[in-house]
Structure 1
Amino acid sequence: MNENNYPKLHNAMWPGVVGKGPDSEPVIGFDTMLELTASAEVDGVKFDGVDLALFEHIDVNISDDEIKKLADKVGGYNLKIGSLVAPIWGGPAMGSKEDRANFVEMVRKSCHIGQKLTELGIRPSGVVRIDSASSPHDWDADPTGNSKLIAQTFREACDVAADYGEKLAAEGEICWGGMHSWKTMLETLEAVDRPNMGFQADMAHTLLYTMGYNREQDRILPPDFDWSDRAALDEALKTLTKALRPWTIDFHVAQNDGTVFGSGSHDKTGRHCQALDPNGKLDVVHDAGYWLRDENGVLTKAFKHICWDGCMFPNAVMTNQQTWNDILATMIKVRKEHGWYE
């Protein structure tokens, strides 16, 4: 019997929303996602909590009374709440003065919700997640100027977040300008230069960083990479994680088949695969260790929970209980291999 009880194991609620909508499949309701999460069980182990999207499922403008109801609802399933995704897509972080002010205001509202949930005792760990709300194509029109604007917006957002005792995690994903390669992501984080600014690593998305998908000059793996060359993939992951691990304050366990995909209104990004997909390029349990341990193999303990992320799956897959049991089983293995006891 493995006694590790950290990191706590969370499920994401936004896969019920991301890539859904009028030109795709219907959104899967919050209550359904909660029920599927709470019902998952492997050898007596269950999910510890959920990470929330403050859009579609939950209105970022909810009142304090409604925040209390949200806490009671999630707590009623014996789940905690962790990280929150801020709905910052009303205007790009490198946009007009009004766009950037709106971005910061969305962060403020999200941090208020986070602070209230923490005060209610339902949120023992977690950050507020952001991205640049900008496309790599638009960013490319003026990389230097746009990067400066993104860093400025993120700095202002960090200063607001600090008033609520919150940290912000920038999502490393190839569809966000200024964050679309591991090098541009690192440059953005360094330019922000705030103690409460960090990186949110998703294993599916960061694998695409090694391939230089939206920024060819930053690829680590060769263009004709042979995926059976595990030693070379290990070296690429070591290069990537050495650069970004020190910034990582939020972590998504995920699988990817080395391709991109988009549905609904979502741009093409690293394609999430199911936990046991035979086409997955990652050894999920082994490769999670590159993020959870330093170069010497010592646990970083940089975050108290980890979250599964798998978006843009058909609703038939998402509403199948076995999907979530398989995910939970994989996460239990990650904790057994790279967790600790408190």
Structure 2
Amino acid sequence: MKNNFPKLHNATWPGIVGKGPDSQPPIPLDKMLEMTAAAEVNGNKFDGVDLGLLDPHINIDSSDDEIKRLADKIAGYGLNVGSLVAPIWGGPTLGSDEDRKTFVEMVRKACHFGKVLREHGIRQYGVIRIDSASSPEQWSKDPEKSKELIVETFRAACDVAAEYDEKLAAEGEICWGGMHSWKIMVDTLEAVDRPNIGFQADMSHTLLYLLGYNAPEHRILPKDFDWSDRSVLEAGLKTVTDALRPWTIDFHVAQNDGTVHGTGSHDKTGRHCLATDPNGKLDVAKDAGYWLRDGNGNLTKAFKHICWDGCMFDNDVMMKQQTWNDILAKLVEVRDLHGWSE
């Protein structure tokens, strides 16, 4: 029997992130759902979507009836829901006391949203994704105080999430203070010290950890690194994944060409490349194994689904059905190599 886990998801928020008045118009949620549902590769389809609880796609203050209607709409496309992104950026952890209260309240609202989806039956796995909502520049003004504020806020958010039986996954991305280096990320998670905090690994973002863009002191690859030297790259990937894999509870499959990119209001971070990009530095299906298997090569089965995140792709790329077919094909490759059957 072919592998049926992990389930294969597409993210909806690339229709919003990096879009806007100073970039390109957002792509409606219905269009993202339609193109996800239409993708097919050798009889394989997407199993579901991960949702960004963000305007203009979704109102975080939706009533329970509105959330159920959304669930019915998604189910109508033959899709499930997995992880949810809490809209915490109006409450930066390194802002005011009021900002931090807003952060925790947004996590509570996201957890309630997830509870309604669970009770509906459309969401059987997944986590609530968070980040520090603050920049590395802010963090670096006073690293010790910054760490203290992030940890305090994350602990409060974890306590709220626990009331809903939810886990929080902090996104490892170089544009978030306290998350901008693999060593600092581990340090932050250890300090939070809650059973329901974990790490969200995105293969595009975590590759940038090896290059030390916003934390040169934690760079792993040499400055004149020759990308054709797979042995050095693989050793670097092993170092980062050995440190962060024990924390990883949510996973994005992605490609990166070794550069940073930002559009609209989004700060520069790891560039998400197309699954077929010839400049991609990762052997995506093989390198996903560093996250999906432990140091002895055994499957961790630490999460029930994997997701493709294609943030900041141009709209003309995202509106082509072939784009989503190619992405699905790459996810199927990952599942063929590192999946299991239940």
Structure 1 and Structure 2 fold alike (TM over 0.5): yes
Aligned residues: 341
Superposition map of 1:220-239 within 5 A: 220-239=220-239
User: In 1, Cα distance between the equivalents of 2:213 and 2:47?
Assistant: 34
Contact 2:94 2:138 survives alignment (8 Å): no
Following superposition, the deviation at residue 91 of structure 1 comes to: 2.3
Following superposition, the deviation at residue 92 of structure 1 comes to: 1.2
Paired residue type of 1:22: P
2:271 corresponds to which residue? 271
SS in 1 for 2:251: strand
2:62 corresponds to which residue? 62
Paired residue type of 2:225: F
Paired residue type of 2:278: P
Paired residue type of 2:45: K
User: In 1, Cα distance between the equivalents of 2:285 and 2:84?
Assistant: 25
Following superposition, the deviation at residue 126 of structure 1 comes to: 0.4
Paired residue type of 1:91: G
Contact 1:256 1:273 survives alignment (8 Å): yes
SS in 1 for 2:150: helix
Contact 2:50 2:83 survives alignment (8 Å): yes
Following superposition, the deviation at residue 266 of structure 1 comes to: 0.2
Gaps of 5+ in 1: none
Paired residue type of 1:80: N
Q: Tell me the TM-score normalised to structure 1 length.
A: 0.99
Superposition map of 1:1-342 within 5 A: 3-56=2-55, 57-342=57-342
Gaps of 5+ in 2: none
Paired residue type of 2:252: H
SS in 2 for 1:255: coil
Contact 2:8 2:47 survives alignment (8 Å): yes
SS in 1 for 2:123: coil
Paired residue type of 2:66: E
Following superposition, the deviation at residue 310 of structure 1 comes to: 1.0
Q: Tell me the TM-score normalised to structure 2 length.
A: 0.99
Identical positions, percent: 73
Following superposition, the deviation at residue 150 of structure 1 comes to: 0.1
Paired residue type of 2:213: Y
Q: CA RMSD in A?
A: 0.6
SS in 1 for 2:210: helix
Following superposition, the deviation at residue 250 of structure 1 comes to: 0.1
Runs of 4+ in 1 over 2 A off after TM superposition: none
SS in 1 for 2:245: helix
Per-residue CA deviation, residues 267-297 of structure 1 (Å, 9 max, x unaligned), is 0000000001000000000000000000000
Paired residue type of 2:18: G
Per-residue CA deviation, residues 202-237 of structure 1 (Å, 9 max, x unaligned), is 000000001001000001111111101000000000
Paired residue type of 1:237: L
Paired residue type of 1:318: M
